[in-house]
Structure 1
Amino acid sequence: MTRDDLKKWSHRLHMNQPPNLFGKDKVPYRTIGYSFFLFLVGTIFLCLGFMDYVETGSMTTATSEESGRPYEKLLLGALMFIPGSYHVFVGLLAYLKVDGFKYKDVASFESDQWWNDHCD
């Protein structure tokens, strides 16, 4: 057996590996938890902003000190709801093992190294 034959055999061996039956995807629990928090609080602020809008009748007819309250709550709610709902949706579909969705598709809000360095 020559060195070239050994290289070809090694290459064939590595290219024809069976799939790992025991491999697991790392579940980003913290990221999904933060996303669920953003989703929940964003939904609450959107509901409160909409209720203020319905209560006053419009965005601008309230008194001067209350004129921006629906805007503030709706904007804050939208800024929290949109990324939270997206990441919760992707995490849920990855949990249900829908084709095309994996836990690595969920963007990580922090790295484990940063967390270990700053929170000990």
Structure 2
Amino acid sequence: MSRFRFGRTNNGYTQVPNDDSGFCDSQFEIPPQKIPWKAIALASFLFIVGSVLLTVGTLIVTGHIDTKYSDRLWPIILLGCIMFLPGAYHVRIAYYAYKEYPGYSFADIPEFE
């Protein structure tokens, strides 16, 4: 049995008036941004630890730290670079989004669930 057979056409929808263009102002409003606190905390951690590891590696290279630790030079520098680069990148995006620079938003930072 069809709904239209007995003349029932009310399906819960209302018809938009003909003089309206079909758009409403609320569909063009930008929803408030959620700040991804976990991702910013992880980026800050990577930035700080990567900076420390790069600093320690640099101090080993320059001889300010005893040369008996010279076998740890390249792993420290490599790990420092691996941690520093994504941390610095995402901290920069978070800073620019906080300062509301055009083209930057918190939506550019991946969010953890």
For residue 9 of structure 1, report the CA deviation from its aligned partner: 4.2
CA distance 1:51–1:11, change in 2 (3 Å): farther
Which residue identity does 2:92 align to in structure 1?
Answer: F
In structure 1, stretches of 5+ residues that fail to align are 1-5, 57-61, 112-120
Q: Aligned partners of 1:9 and 1:97: how far apart in 2? A: 40
In structure 2, stretches of 5+ residues that fail to align are 1-14
For residue 107 of structure 1, report the CA deviation from its aligned partner: 1.9
Identical aligned pairs, as a percentage?
27
Say how many residue pairs are matched: 96
Cα RMSD for the two superposed structures: 2.5
The residue that corresponds to 2:108 in the other structure is: 105
Considering fraction of residues, name the structure with more helix. 1
CA distance 1:93–1:69, change in 2 (3 Å): same
Range moving further from structure 2, 47-56 or 92-101: 47-56
For residue 20 of structure 1, report the CA deviation from its aligned partner: 3.7
* Stretches of 4+ aligned residues off by more than 2 angstroms: 6-13, 18-21
For residue 7 of structure 1, report the CA deviation from its aligned partner: 4.4
Residue among 90, 96, 100 paired with 1:93: 96
CA distance 1:30–1:67, change in 2 (3 Å): same
The residue that corresponds to 2:36 in the other structure is: 28
For residue 17 of structure 1, report the CA deviation from its aligned partner: 1.1
The residue that corresponds to 1:50 in the other structure is: 58
* Other structure's SS at 1:26 match: coil
Q: Aligned partners of 2:29 and 2:16: how far apart in 1? A: 23
TM-score (norm: length of structure 2): 0.72
Q: Aligned partners of 1:83 and 1:35: how far apart in 2? A: 7
TM-score (norm: length of structure 1): 0.68
Which residue identity does 2:21 align to in structure 1?
Answer: R
